[in-house]
């Protein structure tokens, strides 16, 4: 797919454009195809250990563009003036920064930020969006960012896998009760900036200008020659030691989803990162959302794909972070039927659940044991031939309590321990997304243009409260297509409006 030189649309672009190359999970061959491709991008951690032993940890980042180089090249390409300011740490500092912006009349003022926070994938995206939202609220016309190697993201020089993401995964550790719990490092070929945001490493090629009202795409390649400087640029200094500064801003200032700046934040990112605009060579995932080929033509497209993120990883076997844990078996099945009723699905349509999670073990038998321990409340793995075969990444399960309505399929597609790149992309491209109290699913919801459901606030207290770094409550209503789980019972009209608007975009595509 060729890279778009520019894009001016501000309406979200449907992620279902990527489904033309996808397989349908209802077809028997699809599950086999997904498992054949899964795991192919896993990078042996032993190779990374060898690199460190041969030289130093510095070599793990030698192939990436540095922050000083990226900022200089961005300035040379797009900025008439360049000023460095720290991100405001008080109401007074924010007012002074806004006054500086207001003084410029000949060109727009944008914020420029190089992100290098040491944190997980979801947390890094979350903190990036925090800063963008605050910057747009202060008065910047747009925000240009880059995501550097830090945390688990590495890029050794001449590394055949390109950018690589490493994280502690329970999949390689012993199951509970079978030894001391361990979370060995697992590494994947995955460039968050490229594969999720659709942005090139170098600023001249393709850079997202978050929140700009006219065009979210910055590129110096579209005209074949260097463009004249377009902006007054303020480089926001926002280092690791000040990673909560934007959060402090949001505690002082309430930002509503009705704010024009917030609407532009989401529409700019969603249109920029859409499949029709991806960079050549960007990794694309199959999700099982394709059109069925083994059913009658009149029934084609009968599934509405619902992605749910079950956070497990480092938070315990029965943490209460995920909606299926919060509602439990009968409640979860009842909620899905309530969702189908609220959307007033056409006759023959069914919600099909796709679960994205991590778990101890690499076999279906291991995941059945995890479900019995409570990790996968509401999901049942009936014994079948080949349950002990590993490694496995995709399998079919079923709802623990069968739905009492016709609008919900009892079958569940499980994606377990796969490349986080695929999980994020597939969550984004689903018709409906259900998040956990986790920044990973929330990061996917930033780019999701259809219905998104977040857990209800009160669930935190029921499960002993959550930590502020998991997902802050104030961020659960920033987008106009985001709802709470309980809204299924009380806001059916609004749900149908968002769902229909997303479906109309699919038809127009």
What are the structural domains, with CATH classification, of the chain?
43-277 (no CATH), 296-508 (3.40.50)
- Residues 488 and 490: their CA atoms lie apart, in Å, by 6
Query: What's the confidence (pLDDT) of residue 3?
Result: 33
Query: What's the confidence (pLDDT) of residue 7?
Result: 34
Reduced to 3 states, what is the DSSP secondary structure of residue 460?
Answer: helix
Query: What's the confidence (pLDDT) of residue 317?
Result: 62
Q: Is 35 left (phi over 0), alpha (psi -120 to 50) or beta?
A: alpha
Reduced to 3 states, what is the DSSP secondary structure of residue 157?
Answer: coil
Instruction: Copy the structure tokens of residue 360.
Output: 């101890």
Query: What's the confidence (pLDDT) of residue 15?
Result: 62
Query: What's the confidence (pLDDT) of residue 452?
Result: 96
Q: Looking up tokens 């989401």, which residue turns up?
A: 266
* Low-confidence spans in the chain with pLDDT less than 50: 1-9, 224-225, 296-300, 508-509
- Residues 138 and 101: their CA atoms lie apart, in Å, by 9
- Phi and psi at residue 348, to the nearest 5°: 90, -15
Rounded mean pLDDT of the chain?
A: 86
State pTM to two decimals.
0.92
pLDDT digits (tens, 9 = 90+) for 60-79: 999 999 999 999 999 999 99
Query: What's the confidence (pLDDT) of residue 509?
Result: 45
Query: What's the confidence (pLDDT) of residue 202?
Result: 94
- Residues 495 and 348: their CA atoms lie apart, in Å, by 20
Query: What's the confidence (pLDDT) of residue 12?
Result: 65
- Residues 453 and 471: their CA atoms lie apart, in Å, by 14
């Amino acid at each position: 797919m060729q890279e778009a030189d520019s894009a001016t649309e501000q309406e979200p672009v449907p992620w279902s454009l990527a489904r033309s190359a996808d397989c349908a999970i209802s077809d028997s061959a699809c599950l086999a195809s997904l498992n054949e491709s899964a795991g192919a991008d896993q990078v042996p951690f032993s190779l990374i250990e060898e690199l460190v032993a041969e030289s130093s940890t510095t070599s793990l980042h030698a192939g990436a563009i540095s922050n000083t180089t990226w900022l200089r090249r961005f300035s040379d390409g797009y900025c008439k003036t360049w000023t460095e300011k720290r991100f405001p740490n008080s109401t007074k500092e924010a007012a002074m920064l806004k006054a500086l912006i207001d003084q410029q009349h000949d060109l727009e003022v944008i914020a420029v930020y190089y992100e290098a926070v040491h944190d997980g994938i979801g947390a890094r995206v979350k903190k990036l969006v925090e800063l963008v939202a605050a910057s747009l609220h202060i008065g910047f016309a747009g925000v240009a960012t880059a995501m550097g190697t830090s945390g688990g993201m590495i890029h050794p020089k001449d590394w055949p896998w390109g950018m690589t993401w490493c994280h502690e995964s329970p999949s390689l550790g012993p199951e509970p009760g079978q030894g001391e719990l361990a979370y060995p490092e697992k590494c994947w070929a995955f460039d968050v900036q490229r594969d999720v945001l659709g942005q090139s490493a170098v600023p001249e090629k393709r850079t997202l200008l978050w929140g700009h009202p006219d065009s979210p795409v910055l590129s110096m390649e579209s005209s074949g020659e260097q463009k004249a400087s377009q902006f007054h640029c303020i480089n926001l200094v926002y280092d690791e030691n000040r990673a909560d500064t934007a959060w402090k801003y949001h505690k002082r200032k309430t930002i509503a989803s009705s704010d024009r700046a917030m609407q532009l934040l989401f529409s700019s990112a969603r249109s920029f990162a859409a499949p029709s605009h991806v960079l050549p060579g960007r990794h694309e995932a199959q999700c099982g959302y394709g059109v069925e080929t083994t059913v009658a033509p009149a029934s084609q497209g009968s599934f509405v794909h619902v992605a749910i993120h079950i956070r497990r990883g480092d938070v315990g076997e029965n943490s209460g972070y995920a909606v299926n844990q919060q509602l439990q078996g009968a409640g979860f099945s009842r909620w899905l039927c309530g969702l189908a009723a609220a959307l007033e699905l056409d006759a023959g349509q069914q919600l099909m659940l796709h679960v994205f999670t991590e778990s101890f073990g690499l076999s279906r038998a291991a995941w059945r044991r995890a479900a019995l321990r409570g990790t996968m409340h509401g999901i049942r793995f009936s014994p079948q031939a080949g349950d002990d075969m590993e490694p496995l990444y995709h399998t079919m399960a079923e709802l623990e309590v069968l739905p009492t309505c016709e609008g919900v399929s009892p079958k569940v597609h499980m994606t377990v321990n796969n490349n986080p790149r695929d999980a994020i992309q597939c969550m984004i491209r689903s018709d409906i997304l259900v998040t956990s109290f986790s920044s990973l699913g929330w990061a996917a919801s930033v780019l999701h243009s259809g219905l998104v459901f977040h857990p209800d606030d009160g669930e935190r207290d029921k499960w002993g409260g959550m930590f502020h770094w998991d997902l802050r409550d104030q961020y659960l209503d920033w987008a106009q297509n985001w709802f709470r789980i309980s809204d299924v019972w009380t806001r059916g009209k609004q749900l149908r409006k968002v769902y229909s608007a997303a479906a109309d975009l699919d038809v127009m595509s």
